Amino acid sequence: MNITVIGSGYVGLVVGACLAETGNAVVCADVDAAKIDGLKRNVLPIYEPGLDAYVERNQQAGRLRFTTDVGEAIAAADVVFIAVGTPPDEDGSADLSHVLAVADAIGKHMTRELVVVTKSTVPVGTAAKVSAKIGEHARFPYHICSNPEFLKEGAAVDDFMKPDRVVLGVETDHARSVMAELYAPFVRTGRPIIFMDIPSAEMTKYAANAMLATRISFMNEIANLCEQVGANVDLVRKGVGSDDRIGPAFLFPGPGYGGSCFPKDVKALVHTGDEFGASLEILKSVEAVNDRQKRLLFAKLERALDGKLRGARIAVWGLAFKPNTDDMREAPALVLIDELLAAGATVAAHDPAAMPEARRRLDDRVAFADTGYAALEGADALVVVTDWNEYRHPDFGRIRTALRRPIVVDGRNLYDPAKMRALGITYLSIGRAGGGTA
């Protein structure tokens, strides 16, 4: 099939590269000329394991190309994916201006019967707006489909190539047939394609992310209570997660969720609820808990240093909101660093992938170290914010020697409290007896 993907950010690039991998002729179109120029040279604008190989291989094979000519890309397509951003407005609602601008372009430039797929995360009712906007100019039949993405940053290629499920909201037999054919190579092992009406598909994406965010905030609340009552959240997590009705995923306590999806999607769903008079009180609490949790590491560190942060130097390991990505949107590390700087401390930071993005965001307010150990030199304490693999088994003797004061605040519960105490390290983690309080 001739596929056009409009938007070459995180979602669009993964969709385009993976669809090209199964033999489709794919054009990724974007108005950002610098981004397109880089992609033509196999320089990706994001860090995503394995994606660079897919882009390079399919460009070389002629199945994948990049362009700034959105109209030309639409004119050649049988299927157009809309994969542009939907950033939050000030009121928390999703900004649909980019989506509707693409819909307008589709109506003007389509040259044949077309299936139009909303891949961007959009609130219920967006497909109808997209259809209306296309219809203002369309001279050929078109079919709207909602196809929400469920890609995890750091594992997006595998998620697309081997999906848990494919959700497709369709209204016509033609759209159903085309999309079933397009996704057939990805569900050969029996994973389901779930067809539904378009509003249900639009809601499914938000409901899924809201559920995962709720699990994170719930477990963070339980972890904080564990500290107060002397329980160990690691054991509680295992006990709860072994229940088949609950399962173990997204029950790890930490410094709060971040990234491009959970924060904005929870806000957008809360806004939709208020708009339709169905206030989502649980999700409002999920947001409040998450905002509070992002300040937990600073509070622990402040107690460990007896409130004497002015003039202190703090090493921070991990800047991305999660491992295997360079995404710092809504990252807990940003909240921590802002609080440290406001308190008069200096910060030396390291991240395996997010250093370029961190330099762009933080400029010269932070000292950036080439290695995690280099960040420790002369520091009064270490805070672990992101659970990158290279931080899981460090040389604790080297940490103990490099730090001016042997204080480690572990926001991901990576280390054993008993071992840290035996090494003479003041160790603070989240929700664990012996490692939770100063």
Helices (H), 22-137: 33-40, 51-60, 70-75, 97-109, 126-135
E-state strands within 90-192 = 114-118, 142-146, 166-170
pTM: 0.91
Is the Cβ–Cβ distance between 323 and 292 less than 8 Å? Answer: no
pLDDT at 91: 79
Asked whether residue 301 falls in the same domain as residue 418, the answer is yes
Whether residue 226 lies in the annotated active site: no
Q: What is the pLDDT of residues 104-161, one digit of tens each?
A: 999 999 999 999 999 988 989 999 999 999 999 999 999 999 999 999 999 999 999 9
Residues spanned by the domain of 67: 2-196
Asked whether residue 319 falls in the same domain as residue 387, the answer is yes
Asked whether residue 303 falls in the same domain as residue 189, the answer is no
Given 292, 321, 338, the domain boundary residue is 292
Asked whether residue 406 falls in the same domain as residue 342, the answer is yes
Would you say residue 433 lies in a domain?
Answer: no
With bands split at pLDDT 50, 70 and 90, how would you rate the model's confidence at 434? low
Asked whether residue 240 falls in the same domain as residue 354, the answer is no
CA dihedral (294, 156, 123, 329) in degrees, to 10, reads 30
Q: What is the pLDDT of residues 287-314, one digit of tens each?
A: 999 999 999 999 999 999 999 999 999 9
Is the Cβ–Cβ distance between 381 and 409 less than 8 Å? Answer: yes
Residue 128 φ/ψ, nearest 5 degrees:
-65, -40
Asked whether residue 23 falls in the same domain as residue 110, the answer is yes
Which contiguous run of DSSP H or E holds residue 281?
helix 281-293
Tell me which amino acid residue 395 is: D
Asked whether residue 233 falls in the same domain as residue 267, the answer is yes
Q: What is the pLDDT of residues 54-81, one digit of tens each?
A: 999 999 999 999 999 999 999 999 999 9
Would you say residue 25 lies in a domain?
Answer: yes
Asked whether residue 118 falls in the same domain as residue 36, the answer is yes
Asked whether residue 287 falls in the same domain as residue 327, the answer is no
**Alpha carbon 46 to its chain's center:** 12
Find all residues with CB under 8 Å of 223, minimum gap 6, and list them: 233, 253, 430, 431
Write the CATH number for 301. Answer: 3.40.50.720
Number of structural domains the chain divides into: 3
Asked whether residue 369 falls in the same domain as residue 268, the answer is no
Would you say residue 437 lies in a domain?
Answer: no
